[in-house]
Amino acid sequence: MTRSPSLRRLHFLNALFAPLTGHDLYLAQQIDAAITSSLPEAEERAPSDPAFVNAAAALFARLCSAQPAHGFFHWDASADDAGASPLFARAGVMQGLKQLAAYPESTLLVTNLRAAHCPEAKRWTERRRRDYDDALNFIRDLAAARSRRDANMNLLFL
């Protein structure tokens, strides 16, 4: 069963903006309408589309800056060619965790980790799938170990 791009976008926005909207689907629809109205051919865009992700992340960062108790950091694993390696993943995530340490509530958005492990022109192999799963677990464990115990952190992967 495949979901339509608009339904997948709505699920992504509901998860991303939940700390600010309280899982209100009506507000998620309003956010989707605001983002898609600013992008050409927006109705066909999946939530993994880089333009959509960047627009959503920029809007979320702007909303978080208006709330001093909520921090936001977006790490794009495909920003450089080494994003899939554990060393660079650790460096990128640690940069975000240091920035988010000051906030009692925060959101860490990790995008394009899947694409960094298996570019579009390549096929998923058992090794790539294992490396991707290891990277997901590594980032989860790192976020749990290096964030404040009294803080509430949302960790989202797209």
Range of the domain at 94: 68-158
Tell me if residue 72 falls in helix, strand or coil: strand
Any domain includes 112: yes
Among the listed ranges 14-18, 131-135, 150-154, which one has the minimum average pLDDT value? 14-18
Confidence of residue 78 (pLDDT cuts 50, 70, 90): confident
Q: How many domains does the chain have?
A: 2
Neighbouring C-beta atoms of residue 128, cutoff 10 Å: 16
Residue with tokens 């309280």, as numbered in its chain: 22
Residues 156 and 107 in one domain: yes
Tell how far CA 74 is from the center of its chain.
Answer: 6
**Close Cβ partners of 154 (under 8 Å, ≥ 6 residues apart):** 18, 19, 106, 107, 108
Residues 135 and 84 in one domain: yes
Residue among 32, 30, 35 at smallest CA distance from 6: 32
Residues 95 and 42 in one domain: no
Residues 26 and 97 in one domain: no
Q: Quote the tokens at residue 26.
A: 């009506």
- Which residues face 153 on adjacent strands? 106
Any domain includes 60: no
Residues 130 and 78 in one domain: yes
Any domain includes 61: no
Could you report the per-residue pLDDT of 25-36, keeping only the tens digit for each?
Answer: 777 788 887 777
Residues 47 and 72 in one domain: no
Q: Quote the tokens at residue 119.
A: 């570019």
Residues 40 and 81 in one domain: no
- pTM value is 0.76
Could you report the per-residue pLDDT of 79-109, keeping only the tens digit for each?
Answer: 766 667 788 888 889 999 999 999 998 989 8
Residues 113 and 153 in one domain: yes
Any domain includes 59: no
